[in-house]
Amino acid sequence: EAQVTQNPRYLITVTGKKLTVTCSQNMNHEYMSWYRQDPGLGLRQIYYSMNVEVTDKGDVPEGYKVSRKEKRNFPLILESPSPNQTSLYFCASSLIGGGETQYFGPGTRLLVL
Amino acid sequence: GQQLNQSPQSMFIQEGEDVSMNCTSSSIFNTWLWYKQDPGEGPVLLIALYKAGELTSNGRLTAQFGITRKDSFLNISASIPSDVGIYFCAGTHNNDMRFGAGTRLTVKP
């Protein structure tokens, strides 16, 4: 089944404790992206990747890192999480960038205490 | 960066009624997309629009890409209870993708 998977789905952590949210897609998509969703703000793009080893900042990249060493994986790294990073995170992928239809993962709900 | 202006923020309608929501922006976009998000899940694409003026239907859903490339609307005809959810518009320009804040739809049986 074609899908985007994220892990974990739920995470509670404390300020400053490094964490990684994994994202994987099995559709051989070149483009992958991370979003955060907050009430009243919709989805805001954190980082995106056009292909392996190519990443770019989105709207709200501060406090996040990403890497794209393999085509199928695009982990989101929070080196020192803070409470304002409490949010719902979505990973998405598409065949190519530039407006091509994106497929979203199920989301990761993060709470930073 | 600028997000899209999506309205209304929420709608409470009776089953069988038609629904209309729209998105506007001060910037032009090459593509307009409409997504629906059910509770606890990621957004799912409903309709994609690639050309200014394009009018596209998907069952009871109809969406249009505005001529100015700065707006789009989504209509849902004869709403049913399973239409409940949050609807998001999204616009893309080159590799930049922006989302509206969403329209929360409630359908009363």
Per-residue pLDDT in tens (0 to 9) along chain B, 109 residues:
557 899 999 999 999 999 999 999 998 999 999 999 998 889 999 999 999 999 999 999 999 999 999 999 999 999 999 999 999 999 988 777 888 999 999 999 8
Of A44, A48, A104, the CB nearest to B43: A104
Q: Kindly state whether B85 is in contact with chain A, defined as any CB-CB distance less than 8 angstroms.
A: no
Q: What are A61-110's pLDDT values in tens digits?
A: 999 999 999 999 999 999 999 999 999 999 999 988 766 778 899 999 99
Residue of A50, A90, A101 lying closest to B45 (CB–CB): A101
Alpha carbons A44 and B99: distance in angstroms, whole number: 7
pLDDT in tens, B9-34: 999 999 999 999 999 999 899 999 99
Report the 10 Å Cβ neighbour count for A61. 16
Contact (CB, 8 A) for A86 and A66: no
| Cα–Cα distance list, B80 to A17, A50, A79, B2, B83 (Å) | 45, 39, 45, 33, 6
Cα of B16 to nearest chain A Cα, Å: 27
Q: Nearest-CA distance from B10 to chain A in Å?
A: 11
pLDDT at A96: 80
Is A90–B30 a contact, with Cβ atoms under 8 angstroms apart? Answer: no
Tokens of A113: 């205490």
Q: What share of chain B is helix, strand, coil (3-state, %, to 5)?
A: 5, 55, 40
Give residue for tokens 């056009």: A50
How many whole angstroms separate alpha carbon A23 and alpha carbon B95? 20
Q: How far apart are CA B85 and CA B43, in angstroms?
A: 10
Residues 27-46 of B with CB under 8 A from A: 30-31, 33, 35, 40-45
Contact A98 B92 (CB under 8 A): yes
